[in-house]
Structure 1
Amino acid sequence: MQRYSNRSGESGIVAYEIGRDPKEPAIIVEFLGGDRYLYTGHSAGVENIARMQELAHEGQGLSTFTSQHVRERYARKLT
């Protein structure tokens, strides 16, 4: 997992990991409190995953985008 930059200082996201399989775009997002969720192209849409990956790299806007566009569309909650 890579630490999320959190440029706004107000994000509920602390870390992320971008999937490496080009056939199945994915991102794992870790929230404050330790909950981790896997979002995939299949569960949340390929375009949404691409945008989440961009925002993760930029360090800003990922939490807002996640809550507004993909919210419960995760593939699974990780333990």
Structure 2
Amino acid sequence: MKSYQDRSGDSGIAAYEYGADWIRIRFRRGGTYDYPASIIGAAHVRAMKRLADGGKGLNTYINTHPEVREGCR
């Protein structure tokens, strides 16, 4: 997994990795979750990949989109 850059300095995300149609996120307080496009939608996965690579806004994105927050495994 790649370390999340956390440009805002207060993210709950520690690391991430992704493939063509999924993203996996490890949180600082424990827990690693998969977010597959088949459940949350390809547009959400694309947005989350962009935010993960940018190091800012990913945790906020997850928390403000219930279909993403509840669609993890």
Please classify the TM superposition score into its range, dividing by the shorter chain length. over 0.9
Normalised to the residue count of structure 2, the TM-score between the two structures is 0.92
Q: How many residues align?
A: 71
Unaligned stretches of 5+ residues in structure 2: none
Instruction: Select the structure that is richer in helix.
Output: 2
Unaligned stretches of 5+ residues in structure 1: none
Task: Say which of 25, 30, 51 aligns to 1:29.
Answer: 25
After superposition, residues 1-79 of structure 1 pair within 5 angstroms as 1-19=1-19, 22=20, 25-69=21-65, 70-74=68-72, 76=73
Question: Counterpart of 1:34 in 2: which secondary structure?
Answer: coil
* AA partner of residue 70 (structure 2): E
List, as ranges, runs of 4+ consecutive aligned residues in structure 1 with deviation greater than 4 Å. Answer: none
Normalised to the residue count of structure 1, the TM-score between the two structures is 0.86
